[in-house]
Structure 1
């Protein structure tokens, strides 16, 4: 009896988390799959079953899938973001002046509400606004349509995303770097290793799992970006992302079934990317268990 109680105790502790997981994660996903197989408008009590027709429409209409090209801007921004975050995390992991101040400056944008950031940068990108005023100091005159020009809007929005989420990757990298034992750095310095060699041969290999995690966040975030472009442009001038389009399909055109199929496709892509990343950069800690 005591042995049975010992085995059952961990499951009793897991009961509530598993209940929340089933209620708020797996049950909604199951409903989403069902909706994707129907032609539901979101209001009618009737849900005509159409099978895979929504997925067929999704993959045969280029206009529904071409919005993925917008994600390339955010993917490029995310790559730059990772490089900058790793650079600043490496520099601030050593003893430099005002280190705590710079850590706060880098992480602070991530703490700001996304809606507030969107409205602030609306003024920043106004023709003749803050950005144009700064550029005039460097001899670049004129008023630019940063959010109105299809050639500039996605770069502008991706730049805002870079500024906002740089702090998250910075904190992840900084924590991973500081978890490397200090004795390793001391031994490297005694052997005459330069800062660059320490970064290349100690820091980067030592935080490779965290770099892999950051890569997953960057790729999934670039595919599912919504908040900033929706607030600043509402998808106008060629800035519509896949998620913005899905929201419009569901709530503007009342095509909940098609929108659900789009959401399932996005979920499948994110899971596939995560699986590929795990295969390319396996968790070294898992081999030790």
Structure 2
């Protein structure tokens, strides 16, 4: 019996020792967590204050101004309720600009991503792909103003492009590319040319991180190039594709400088070439004779922000997939 008591005491002592060893790290972790929590707000507070002051505050102010009739500084606001939003619905110029923004989003988006997939698949098999990637990316890093002005001069009826076509005997292909009926289609082509290189870089970055043995195994299984892209590249880089789609939704709906410079006007671009940001600029402080309709312009901004939020959430839901680890 004495031996049983002794053995029981030894077991209890051993268990106590093990418990103390386990509790010591947990106490250390708890103390470390408390120290981190003390440092959390001092570190994040400056950035939070800047964010609230420079982003959240103006956003709330813009939302409030959208319910006012206001010409800007020095003029008194007059509350008009939802009149600005009703006016948007009945404004044919706004609906044209809104339609143009949606055309850029959908048409250019489809063409850009198809080209980006094709180009990235071809570049993956080429030796000097890094240099070619840099050339494709070059238009994106140049100022949109410079690109827009340059393309506008190039495609002028008497510009270098038409002159070159006439010089090689292809006068039938020389067109008035900047005429009202062709202007916006030409803008769409210019946006595709400028933007495709950026998304090629994103897709290539997603494909380059895929280990090579996946492609070796698929080749041994008899997969062709398209099957390798469909069953290996596409699923293993889906997260990058989803991020690229979200970036395109945001970037396409705020295109301003390129279109404004491309039209080459000293006043406002013609109505058939306007996007919502351009029309917003025209109705607030843009053009030779600014309208200074700040409430109306703020209503446009609120509508576009809401549209971006809805589209981003929709894209994220549609492109949601289970994470693939490798």
Post-superposition offset of 1:143: 4.7
8 Å Cα contact 2:165/2:174 also seen in 1: no
Structure 2 counterpart of 1:241: 275
Post-superposition offset of 1:34: 1.1
8 Å Cα contact 2:96/2:271 also seen in 1: no
Structure 2 counterpart of 1:27: 57
Unaligned runs of 5+ in 1: none
Of the structure 1 ranges 276-285 and 250-259, higher mean CA displacement relative to structure 2 is found in 276-285
What TM-score do you get using the length of structure 1 for normalisation?
0.90
Larger radius of gyration, structure 1 or 2?
A: 2
Post-superposition offset of 1:14: 2.3
Matched position secondary structure for 2:214: helix
Q: What is the aligned length? A: 285
Post-superposition offset of 1:216: 2.6
What TM-score do you get using the length of structure 2 for normalisation?
0.81
Per-residue CA deviations over 1:172-220 (Å, capped at 9, x if unaligned) read 1011111212221121122121111101111112222222222233333
Structure 2 counterpart of 1:275: 313
Matched, 1:139 2:177: no
Post-superposition offset of 1:237: 5.7
Moved over 4 A (4+): none
8 Å Cα contact 1:246/1:259 also seen in 2: yes
Separation (CA, whole Å) in 1 of partners of 2:94 and 2:102: 16
Separation (CA, whole Å) in 2 of partners of 1:58 and 1:272: 19
Q: Which has the higher contact order (CA 8 A, sep 6+)?
A: 1
Matched, 1:102 2:136: no
Matched, 1:218 2:216: no
Matched, 1:151 2:185: no
Matched, 1:167 2:205: no
8 Å Cα contact 2:246/2:316 also seen in 1: no
Separation (CA, whole Å) in 1 of partners of 2:247 and 2:181: 26
Matched position secondary structure for 1:250: coil
Post-superposition offset of 1:281: 1.0
